[in-house]
Amino acid sequence: MNFSQLAVTAPVLRALTDAGYVAPTPIQEKAIPVVLNRKDLLACAQTGTGKTAAFAIPVLQLLSADKEKQRLSGIQVLVLTPTRELAIQVEESFRDYGKYLGFKSMTLFGGVSQVPQVEQLKRGVDILIATPGRLLDLSSQRLLDLSKLRYFVLDEADRMLDMGFVHDVKKVLKLIPAKRQSLFFSATMPSEIRELAGTILSQPETVAVDPVSSTAEIISQELHWVTKEEKKTYLCDLLHERQINPVLVFTRTKYGADKLARFLQKNGISAAAIHGDKSQGARQQALNSFKAGKLRALVATDIAARGIDIEELQWVVNYEIPNVAETYVHRIGRTGRAGATGTAISLCDQEERAYIRDIEKLIGKKIPMKSALAAV
């Protein structure tokens, strides 16, 4: 299967070739025809399966077809995302895939001045990728008009629920036309998510790939038992001995991320922390430096890391084991992207043993133990 067999048009195919795309992933193969058929879509797919392209490619193509028939004015596409980082990456994807189509896209999120964003909106935007808070803020100031909207995408709906954004999403729905095409993406489908989907979608087609535990199947996993006191030193030794570079390291808290990043720096490992208390500028700078190879380690909390899409990232370290099993799957899914290989290392102390049991139950297998340095 290739993209031309999915009826992707020449300008988009050319952009995909430029971006190095060869064949569609399963979610793209299933979702693109549904969207091109102008049907609402309910898609169960986690990050790393190629879901952004699964909605961006057909939406761009439909918008291009609309443009040939009539003059378009105002915001035509709205993609709602839970985090700023994800918004930025989705917008980059729209730009990459639509580079030969001439549409204007932008991101809208809080934590930065609204002035440049408002100026950009005034100049005209076709595709808007936004987080709920800033979108509602500008709408309440009458600085944003969504009345001409044709396409609405809710991305990572389960994370929206986790982060308490469901009421904001419902407010956004009141701002957009009832007559629209809606696409709904979520990594998991608990009852609350299905209920939300029911309020957004009209006679949707459902597609699903990769249940939540399947990411764990293609990623090499290692469990290292180590005492809490030894973790920092053990991590440094591990990074040096196995020449792990670059690596995304997860902590449970913002304070822990900062503390660990400072420790790594003192021990000759270029590192930066990324979490919700950092300014947007600092977060983006750290992410850009990491992507460019200027940082060896990026230390992140779960919410900050959500949506981080780093091509060919081979190493993830769980410095602290998450207390929610599904979070583990999301974390290690930062590597092994779209079928690539990757390694996830978990450093577990005595107090975290119960978390490991929950994780192994979810993924349906034991995580291989690679080290028993500490008698825990």
What would the pLDDT profile of 299-320 be if each residue is shown by its tens digit? 998 766 655 667 668 899 999 9
Range from 98-107, 147-156, 158-167 carrying the lowest mean pLDDT: 158-167
Q: Is pLDDT of 147 > 90? A: yes
**Is there a common fold for 3-208 and 215-372?**
yes
Q: What is the pLDDT of residues 71-91, one digit of tens each?
A: 888 999 999 999 888 898 899
Q: What's the pLDDT score for residue 47?
A: 64
The model's confidence at residue 375, banded by pLDDT at 50, 70 and 90, is very low
Q: Which residue has the tokens 């809490």?
A: 228
Mean pLDDT value across residues 52-77? 93
pTM reported for the whole predicted model? 0.66
In the chain, domain spans: 3-208, 215-372
Cα angle for residues 122, 176, 152 (degrees, 5° grid):
90
Domain spanning 3-208: CATH 3.40.109.10: no
How far apart, in whole angstroms, are the C-alpha atoms of residue 324 and residue 21?
34
Identify the CA nearest to 352 among candidates 234, 257, 223, 232: 223
pLDDT in tens, 276-289: 777 778 888 888 89
CATH domain 215-372 topology = Rossmann fold (3.40.50)
pLDDT at residue 341 in the model? 73
β-sheet bridge partners, residue 306: none
> Pick the residue with more confidence: 322 or 248?
248
